[in-house]
Each structure stands twice: as C-alpha cells, then as structure tokens.
Structure 1
Amino acid sequence: MKFDITDVIEKYDGVHIGVLTALGINNKTSVDGLKKLQEDAIQGAERQIGDQPPTKHPHISSWREMYRSFGTKPGDYRPSAEALIRRAIKTGELPTINAAVDIYNLVSVKHIIPMGGFDTDHVQGPIKLRLSEGDEVFTPLGASKQEETYPGEAVYADDSRILTRRWNYRDCDETKITGDTVNLVMFIDASPEISPKKIHGALDDLRLLLKLYCDGSYSTGIASKDNPVIEL
C-alpha cells in the first residue's frame, strides 16, 4: 500500500506529512497510565498558547489559513488540533476512545499539530491526499447521514471512498480505529510553518507510546515535495 500526496503538493509545496504505520498491535489494552501524560500535554498546550486566543498560536493560525485556501471557513469547521485543544483546555481532559486513538490525541495536543489515522485492513488501495473533484460521498464518523465534498476541498481518500474531509476536520466511519484494530496508519499534518524537527518529535512520541501500550511493529516516514509517495 502506498501513500501519495502528489496532487496537493502542487498547490501546497511546503507541506510535510508525517506517517506512522503499525502492524500487529493490541488495541484492547488499558491506558490508565496515560492520565498523567494527558494532563501534562494539556498543561503544556496551555503554556504554549498563553493568554492569547488559541487562534493566535502559529500552528493553529497557519492551519486556519490552509482551510481558507480550499474554501473552508475555520470558524465553522475548525482544524482538528484546534478543536481538540479547545475542548481539552475547557474540560481539563482528553476523550477516552481506545489506546491508539487516545495516544495520537495526546501527541496532537502536546505538539499542537493535527493528526489522524485509519484501520488499514479496511482501506482499499493506496491512500491519497488530494483535492476533491466535488460531489464525492462521505459518511462522517459516528453518523448515518452521508455528505458530499465540494470541488477543491483537500481530502484523504482510497480507491473506494473519502477517508477524511477538509484535510483533517472529520474522518469517515468505515476506516475508524477501534479496539479490534490490528494494523493502522497515522498521519501528522504539518503546514509549512511547522518544522520537520517538530514532525520527527511527534513521530517519536507516537512510536514510543504505541509500542509501550499496544506492542506491534512500526515504521515511520515523511511525505513532502521531494518525497511525495511513501510505501506504507
């Protein structure tokens, strides 16, 4: 299976996408030990943001501009990291879903970078980050009503469906990571303002925590203008 960003890189040539592939994980494990790390991540995000609105943080503001560039109003549809951080700061906690998802949410908040992932046993063909032609059917996570994409919208997609709308706003239901997931891929969406060093740090955190809590074997890489296609 391949991951290909050739289509979007023509318009967004400064984008880097961190990629982590996991095989043979146990995603039914307890993540009680993450509690302290989650608290630390939330407090760290609060310190980085300070007294200013979250939208002023350079990682978040850059993603809001990215959303505007493909016709999405970030006030109506917030980039995933912004939405997650706002919720975490307001409630003082992160949602509990399953080990792998809880881990990437923690790392997303810690580094203030949008992240997402798919169960690769339910993915058909290569995964592409591309611009939608419009009117492509999408079933949001946890929803029964279908939506349609609009032309020029940045999406993750495989050969049969849209996996994520608005770059990282909402994943589809069919390829969600569950407790039964054994093989997965995770993506770290870095706008041009986010340094490769930051991506490597986030990848290292993901791999370390996933190995600790879920076992399995891992590989990582970064897709970019110079390396737009990665073997998963």
Structure 2
Amino acid sequence: MPSLSIDPRFKELGFAVHVGALDYDVSVRPAPPALTHSIEDGAEMRLQELLGEAAASDPVIANVRAAFKACGKDPSRYRPSSEALTRRVIAGKPLYQVNNVVDSGNLVSLMTGIPIGIYDTAKIDGDMQLTIGVKGDSYNGIGRGSINLEGLPVLKDDKGPFGTPFSDSARTAVTEDTTNIVIVLFGLNIDIAHVEAAAEIGDTLITRFCAPDQEAG
C-alpha cells in the first residue's frame, strides 16, 4: 500500500485530522443480496437516528462540514460525501448500486457519517498526501465532470489530485478489473475512536463481501 502523509498546514486550521488507510485484495462484482439487504437496513437505522432532522444535524457530518469551511470550501455547495449519501436516504432514494466494493464503502459512510474514499491501488502513482487543494487543482470526478478542488481537503500522488471527501476522481476509480484497493477514512474534525470504529465496520464488510475467495451471491 502507498504510504500516506498529512500536510502540516492542517495543524493551523484548528481541528484534528485522523485519517485511516486500509488495503485489501478484492474481487469486484455486483453486490450480493446480503450486502443489498445490509444497505437497506443501514438506511433504515440512519433514518431512525436522525428522527426527521437534516443530515447536517448529525454531529459527525457537522464537524466535517466545519472542516471543509476551515479549509476554504462552502460545505453547502460542496457537501461531504457522507452528507450527500444521508440526504439521499432522507429523501427516500436508494443508494447508488455500483459494485460490491463501492457499495460497501458507501454503507460505512452512511452508517458513520465519515466520508470514505476507495481507490484502485494500481492507479496510484507513488505515495499519498492529504493536503488542501490550491488554485488550479482539478480532476474529472466520477459522474461529475471537472471539479474545482481549490480549498478542499484532497489526496494527491505523484500525478496530482485523485481523491477528496467530496467526490473522487475517475482516474483511480474501482472497476471490474481492480484487484487491490486502498480505503481512506477522512477523519476530519472527528474523534479517533469514531474513525477506528468505522474502520472496523469497513474491514468486516470488505472481508465478507469483497474478498477474492468469496462466492458471488
């Protein structure tokens, strides 16, 4: 797995940064029924937790929004991915079904409020750094076209930016040809214990539903 460093500039912004990074060998395929049911159950649990309140009322999501603002991005225009997922559930819409790997990551993000990025390790060039996007930084986001990354927390490798807790790039996206992934938990302004708990959920889901020796179904 590529190593991950954190830009010292975050220390000046007044919030803690606890980033988790996990790597796995995987077999990418459609989500099995058990994962789909887990997502449905997770969505129902989230609705019960929020009791009709807005997604941004969740303390974890609120803290990530505050981190976005401190970095220089309006969190109401560039919502954390975990907030976007939660808003879909509140609106009565199902989560996007992509594949077993991406769907597992979305479930972790929905359940915990922590933005999750999953990247094809083979498409990462060199090591990773979590930094803050500067003027001119952009990439082709998955299903979003060009994204202005200035003021967003952003992951960069030797080729440039490839991931954010807002929306990830097409360059390092997980596809059916992916065999190894790195999962990044963007613990921005979030207690380390909550990040560790999210990592445990992610480990359980990836191991159960995405391991190369698992049968589809």
With the length of structure 1 as denominator, give the TM-score of the two structures.
0.83
* 2:35 and 2:209 in contact (8 A); partners too: no
Aligned-partner Cα distance in 1 for 2:41–2:88: 15
Deviates more, 1:1-10 or 1:68-77: 1-10
Partner of 2:175: 178
Aligned equivalents of 2:147 and 2:201: distance in 1? 34
Residue number in structure 2 paired with 1:66: 67
Q: Take 1:216 and 1:7, find their aligned partners in 2: how far apart are those partners?
A: 37
* 2:60–2:114 Cα contact (<8 Å) kept: yes
With 36-45 and 131-140 compared, the bigger mean Cα shift is at 131-140
Between the aligned partners of 1:205 and 1:147, the Cα distance in structure 2 is 29
Contact in 1 for aligned 2:28/2:101 (Cα 8 Å): yes
Matches within 5 A, 1:40-119: 40-119=41-120
Map residues 1-232 of structure 1 onto 2, 5 A cutoff. 1-12=2-13, 14-23=16-25, 25-28=26-29, 30-142=31-143, 146-150=146-150, 152-164=151-163, 167-192=164-189, 194-216=190-212
Q: Distance in 1 between matches of 2:185 and 2:38?
A: 19
Asked if 2 retains the 8 angstrom alpha-carbon contact of 1:18 and 1:190, the reply is: yes
Is the alpha carbon distance of 1:53 and 1:132 closer, same or farther for their aligned partners in structure 2, counting shifts above 3 Å? closer
* 1:72-122: CA deviation from partner (whole Å, max 9, x where unpaired): 111111111000111123235221101100001011111121111110101
| Paired amino acid for 1:123 | I
Residue deviations 1:161-193 (CA, integer Å, cap 9, x gap):
2112xx41111111001122101101111233x
Runs of 4+ in 1 over 3 A off after TM superposition: 6-9, 145-149
Q: Which runs of no fewer than 5 residues in structure 1 stay unpaired?
A: 218-232
The Cα of 1:29 is off from its aligned counterpart by 5.3
Sequence identity of aligned pairs in percent? 26
Q: How many residues end up aligned between the 2 structures? A: 211
Structure 1, residues 107-138: CA drift from partner, whole Å, max 9, x if none?
Answer: 11111211111101011011110123321241
TM-score by length of 2: 0.88
Letter in 2 for 1:172: S
CA RMSD, 1 decimal = 2.0
The CA distance in 1 between the partners of 2:31 and 2:133, in whole Å, is: 38
